[in-house]
Structure 1
Amino acid sequence: MAAFLRNYKRIVVKIGSSLLADNKFVIRQSWLSTLVEDLMMLCDEKIEIVLVSSGAVALGRGSFRAEVAQRKLSVAEKQAAAAIGQIKLLHTYQSEFLKYKREIAQVLLSLDDSETRQRYINAKNTLEMLLKHKLIPIVNENDTVATEEISYGDNDRLAARVAQMVDADLLILLSDIDGLYTANPNFDKNARHIPLIETIDADIKSMAGESHTKISSGGMITKILAAEIAVENGADMIICNGMQDHPISKLKKGSYSLFKGRQQRADARKRWISNHLNAKGTLVIDEGAKQALLLGKSLLAAGIVSTEGSYQATDMVNIYDSNNTLIALGMINYHSETIALVKGKNKQKMQSLLNNESVKAVVHRNDMVML
């Protein structure tokens, strides 16, 4: 086992579809056996493991007619393929881990499960209980019900959210490439590998390209987005080539890209807010309200100029200044119809419009993250 991994206590490992399934949509059994052996070596070192596994759709589509399996699937076909493939995938995992007398548990998550506070906490508690009892959680997006509008669309960001849920200190993305390059190495022979990334800035994001395999749904850009979530929560993240046998035990310095987690983290609630992917609406505020937010104060109705979108209380909204610059993300206390009614109004006028009910801040400072 790579010696540096002993420095971590809880590791989330994400496995891409292109690693699990070959071009005929058949599971790469011998490779998976070596991966599980690597994971058991980590467990022997008292390191807790969570797997985030793609592959259900890829394995399931092999059950369709050849002309269907080879083309781009519709949403309904993708959902059906996931239903077929989940059985194959979990049966294979169970068989492999039982060789070491280790039980697994399936955890299906959707975007809403991590974006809605109570469901996020429920998922976190489930994962923590499984780890407490020495089970290996196998997490996947619930593709049987997900659509393009309500899904992650990739398991890279899902893996980062899971790492946040369980307070992992390392996220490993096993991919078909050995990390981040200055350009796509499949097309640019001068592309340079970047072994260490301490800050994710515009230059780093510009280096990301799309996936070049027909099985994988993600690309380098989704891995960069996952890294932003992971490092914000204090976890390191590794992107490495997992195609070889024993992909974890063969990790060597310089053979992967390491994104360093932040040493100082916000509290857990604000980290959950800042990692949201799906804001339901927008607010535009005036200069006075902007200055108040910058001083750490809550957002009041009087400072709101306009609102867009349909949202409910406790949904996330983006907050823009008058120059159309995104300055904050927060959990709102009123639905969109109420905000449209009270925007620009002071507390007394707002109370009158709401039939003298108790008036709260539109977005409380404890439920807001400045961007």
Structure 2
Amino acid sequence: MTGAALSQIADPAACPRLVIKVGSALLVERGGALRREWLQALAGEISEARRRGQQVVVVSSGAIALGAARLGLSGGGRTSLADAQAAAAVGQIALAGAWDELLGAEGLVAAQLLLTLEDLEDRRRYLNASSTLARLLDQGAIPVVNENDSVATAEIRFGDNDRLAARVAQAAGADAVALLSDVDGLFDRDPKDPEARLVREVRGVDEAVRAMATGGSGSGMGSGGMVSKLEAAEIAGRAGIALAILNGTHARPLARALAEDKGTLFVPQRRDGGRKVWLGGRIAPAGVLTVDAGCAAALGAGSSLLAAGVVGVDGDFARGDLVTIHSAKGDRLAQGLVEYTAAECRAIAGRKASDQAALLGYAPRAAVIHRDHMVLL
């Protein structure tokens, strides 16, 4: 999807494959009951999309909130990791059953995929997930995806379904993502401010755009906020995937947002190749390499990362792990697969190639991170 109109989300020529993300606050009342009429209307919209020739993937939250109500857990099931995992185990059955029933009433087949962070961080498992999504879509099914919160931990998880939706869009080869939220989109300041204005189009997430976002979930049930939605837009944008933030609190939210042309559309500014899409979308780096200004400029021009430009090493990583590259000011520049362990990086940081053999005890490799295994952020 290369245009800059929200209406293209419903155009099968511009957007043959669409990912729709639904948050907990939209699916579940505060008391833990499913918003059945709202979900039924959304199922109808998905059916309409299928009839006009679009393939649809759903990323659905709600398992923890539903399960917590059934188990009688306080705090919506988020008081502890054990509560969240137990609530998810119970709630996922109810959530999958609701989607299966309501999509089935529209003549559609629902399929459930529960993913962990590692399923999309590991290259082989990412390709397996991609293959499964492709096959389901080819067969006309509606994949309903959620994070597998019954086994996810605080350290190994997406943390919110906004980023999961963007990663699933990459794996599915989608053209656009619609994040259904409790606000109309991104505002230039706190939406509670009467002077706040809706930002209708964003071409590239920069510091000015990030400054508009405020963290946290207004409902208290979800785990995402506007910051996570901007991160999702960046992940999707690297793959040439458009992302829209739309208000999902109304009945038939897609039709309403498109009819009123109300929402924020993030127009992608690049389209990386398949492997770099996967690399750029990974969100669990094992460490950080800080580089000097000259090195930062060279990376921007397409160079590999050489040890001479490294001025700081953080983390405990092994060869082949994902690390992020930061500027001296702390800006995220790139990430990629490192050719050395953290200890080796510390030994050769700032040193020329001619000095490295003596420090390492073997001939140095061509780069700390080769440009073929690195993606600019």
* TM-score normalized by the length of structure 2: 0.87
Deviating runs (4+, > 6 A) in structure 1?
none
Change (3 A) 1:87 1:305: same
> For 1:60, what is the secondary structure of its paired residue?
helix
Alignment of 1:138-153 (within 5 A): 138-153=144-159
> 1-side partners of 2:67 and 2:124: how far apart?
32
Structure 2: which 5+ residue stretches go unaligned?
A: 1-5
From 111, 121, 132, the counterpart of 2:127: 121
1:241 aligns with 2:247: yes
The answer for the alignment partner of 2:32 in structure 1 is 25
Aligned to 2:323: 317
Q: Aligned pair count? A: 368
CA distance in 1 between partners of 2:338 and 2:106 (Å): 48
Name the counterpart of 1:252: 258
Q: CA deviation at 1:17?
A: 0.5
> Counterparts of 1:262 and 1:125 in 2: how far apart (Å)?
24
**Pairwise CA RMSD:** 2.6
Q: Which residue of 2 aligns with 1:217?
A: 223
Q: Measure the CA separation in 1 of the matches of 2:291 and 2:189.
A: 39
CA separation of 1:321 and 1:22: change in aligned 2, threshold 3 A: closer
Residue equivalent to 1:10: 17
Kept in 1: contact 2:204–2:268 (CA 8 A)? no
Q: 1:294 to 1:38 in 2, by over 3 A?
A: closer
Q: Percent same amino acid at aligned positions? A: 38
Q: Distance in 1 between matches of 2:360 and 2:144?
A: 48
Of the structure 1 ranges 284-293 and 160-169, higher mean CA displacement relative to structure 2 is found in 284-293
1:188 paired residue number: 193
Distance 2:301 2:38 in 1: 54
Are residues 1:93 and 2:99 paired? yes
Residue deviations 1:174-220 (CA, integer Å, cap 9, x gap): 122222223333x3233222333334333322222232212222222
Larger displacement relative to structure 2 (358-367 or 321-330): 321-330
In the other structure, the counterpart of 1:205 is 210
Deviation larger for 252-261 or 138-147: 252-261
Question: Contact 1:227–1:259 at 8 Å: present in 2 too?
Answer: no
Specify the SS of the correspondent of 1:224: helix
**Quick check: 229-238 or 53-62, which moved more?**
229-238
- CA drift of 1:50 comes to 0.2
Instruction: After TM superposition, list the pairs within 5 Å mapping 1:238-317 onto structure 2.
Output: 238-285=244-291, 289-290=295-296, 292-317=298-323
Aligned to 2:150, the other structure's residue is in SS state: coil
Residues 1:334 and 1:125: Cα distance change in structure 2 (over 3 Å): farther
Q: What is the Cα deviation at residue 323 of structure 1?
A: 5.9
Q: Which residue of 2 aligns with 1:367?
A: 373
Residue-by-residue CA offset, 1:121-179 (whole Å, 9 max, x unaligned): 22112211211221111110111111222222110111111112122111111122222
Q: Which moved more, 1:120-129 or 1:2-11?
A: 2-11
* Contact 2:110-2:144 at 8 Å conserved across structures: yes
Q: How high is the TM-score relative to the length of structure 1?
A: 0.89
